[in-house]
Amino acid sequence: MNIENKLAMITGTKRIGRVVGKALAEKGADVVLTYNHSKEEAESAAREIRQKGRRAMALQADVSRSSDVQALVDRVSQELGKIHILINMASIYSSKPFEETTEKDWDANININLKSVFLCAKAAVPGMKAEGGGRIINFADWIAASGRPRYKGYLPYYVSKVGVIGLTEILALELAPYNILVNAIAPGPILAPPDLSIEEDLEVRKATPLGRWGGENEIAKIVLSLIETDFITGECIRVDGGRHIR
């Protein structure tokens, strides 16, 4: 798919999403940035995209709610047109021992990390079909893509991200006849959390064969590649500096 003059919608635009949105704009796409709480970051990113000469909107939505998602897509369609590219990045991530994990924790992870992917695809696909095709890129996790859990304390998160990979595969099968390609990205150590200690940072670097954090641009490169490809679908690509082979 040629990215120029296409409309992309990104859910979850804090940090990495901002960089992905700007990379799409540089390729000539118009961009919708959605957020739940990070209004300032999303609006700032939208301004930067408009400065590049592309159309951009920052819209609030709880993408785990079907009513919010449908209202979001309807507004985008009315103001900017049909969505050609959907990038599902909205996610939560936290650690808690199994004994302390509650039903609320489970529901939050499943709803935000997995259900939102289904809801956004469900709302965006009719427009993609009308346009003759599209691209959906979901975000999993390098550990989920490795086929086994590696760390305790992330039960609902891990299950939700394994679900994203399964959903990606079945959506790719369901939507292939409509020229809608569906893939997933499984990030590893891309950005160090702001509260990471020096010791923890060194531990991550030591555990990563390439010995460093990847940086947001590595994700943007893969996003662009998965949009531009016309023959890769149902795939989950790890961007983890080799973590999975150690």
Active site residues: 157
Return the residue matching tokens 């909107």.
Answer: 57
| CA dihedral (168, 41, 32, 72) positive or negative | positive
Q: Are 20 and 223 in contact (CB under 8 A)?
A: yes
Q: What is the largest CA-CA distance in the chain?
A: 52
- Residue 27 has, within 13 A of its CA and on its CB side, a CA count of 22
**Dist CA 50 CA 1 (whole Å):** 22
Helix axes 66-79, 116-131, angle to 10 degrees: 30
Q: Are 123 and 168 in contact (CB under 8 A)?
A: no
Residue 4 contacts by C-beta under 8 Å, 6 or more apart in sequence? 27, 28, 29
Residue 92 contacts by C-beta under 8 Å, 6 or more apart in sequence? 108, 109, 112, 113, 157
**Dist CA 65 CA 92 (whole Å):** 15
**Dist CA 117 CA 86 (whole Å):** 10
